[in-house]
Amino acid sequence: MARLIIILTLFCLVAAAALARVHDVTKGPIAEQERLRTISALKSVLPAFNNAIDSEAAEVVVGQDKKGRDVRIKFYKGKMDETPVGTAFQVIAPDGYSGDIAILMGVGTNGKLSGIEIISHKETPGLGNKIQKEEWRNQFKGLSIDDGHKLAVKKDGGEIDQFSGATISPRAVAGAVKKGLEMYKKEFADGG
């Protein structure tokens, strides 16, 4: 019996050491792929930039949640030859049909949306997940809360198209983008 315990213990130690080694070897490449994915998403929502945008990101406390904890958002400042071109940040639409919808927003120095990207969601395939389609996301470009634009779906008197049979997902995205622009305006009143 003692021999079996020793063999099992040795086997577990070797397996744990192997897993630790695999983790060490893959940690760097996984982090690099995540960094490249972030940069790609930032390029899709901001005007052209040439700074090291991911290393220059800043976290800002934008309020508190219902439990009194600080809500922090990471802001990415895009620059072209040291001239600011826009800011990107992520917002969450908590009222999607199937849960949270994570949205990356880009806002130009003029306070207008330069683009949105759906980072993650659990919306219904073939229906609510149409929020990922580029032609639907493009209708947000150039909109601003200062220009009299109503960031809501048409069914609610706004400018954003909803999908037949799937109003909840577009409504959630439009609402989160509107709140994101309001928060941006409050945090960056100077537009930068």
pLDDT digits (tens, 9 = 90+) for 40-73: 999 999 999 999 888 888 888 877 778 888 878 8
d(CA 93, CA 52): 28
Return all residues near 146 (Cβ < 8 A) that are at least 6 apart. 111, 185
What was the pLDDT predicted at 48?
A: 92
Mark residue 75 as left, alpha or beta (left: phi above 0; alpha: psi -120 to 50; beta: remaining): beta
Mean pLDDT of the chain: 88
Query: In the predicted model, is pLDDT for residue 191 greater than 50?
Result: no
Q: Are 114 and 141 in contact (CB under 8 A)?
A: yes
pLDDT digits (tens, 9 = 90+) for 5-38: 999 999 999 999 999 999 999 998 988 898 888 8
- Which of 131, 118, 43, 127 minimizes the C-alpha distance to 88? 43
Return all residues near 15 (Cβ < 8 A) that are at least 6 apart. none
Length of the chain: 192
Query: In the predicted model, is pLDDT for residue 180 greater than 80?
Result: yes
The mean per-residue pLDDT over the stretch 142-171 comes to 85
pLDDT digits (tens, 9 = 90+) for 95-118: 888 888 999 999 999 989 999 999
What was the pLDDT predicted at 12?
A: 94
Q: Give pTM, 2 decimals.
A: 0.78
